Structure 1
C-alpha cells in the first residue's frame, strides 16, 4: 500500500500524525511534516530512484524508457522546478 501524501478533500499535502513500532507497539504522536522527497508524487519518487540507479545518467534513463534525451531532460527540469517550489 502506498503512503497517501495528498488530502482527498482539499488536495493539500498531508502530515504524519502517528508512527508506530511494529515490534514493541510503541506509538509516537505529533504533527510531523513529510520529508521533501516524500511530498513528490509516487511517479516522481520512482523517477529519482531510477536516476540514482542509472548512476545519474539521463542518457541511460532515456534509453531504458524509450524516450529521447531532450524529453527526459525536460522531465528532469520539470522535477527540479517542482522541488524548488516545495522548498519555498
Structure 2
C-alpha cells in the first residue's frame, strides 16, 4: 500500500533524520530507519484491506515499534 498513499517517501526521510541524530554512523542510521519502516509497513499491511486504513495503521506501527522489535527483524539486503 505504500505506493498508494501520500507522503510515504517524505516520512521515510523524517525517520532517517531521527536515526541520523542518534546513530554512530550514517549507514547504521539509514539501515535502522529502513528496517523500522519496513517492519511497520508489513505489520500495518497485515491488519488492513485498503490504503486509507493502511496509512493510519502504518503510523501507529511506527509509533509502537520497540527497540527489541527492530533488532529482531533485521533488514535483509538480499531481498531489497
Report the TM-score when normalising by structure 1. Answer: 0.29
Q: Higher relative contact order by CA 8 Å / sep ≥ 6: 1 or 2?
A: 2
Task: Name the one with the larger strand percent.
Answer: 1
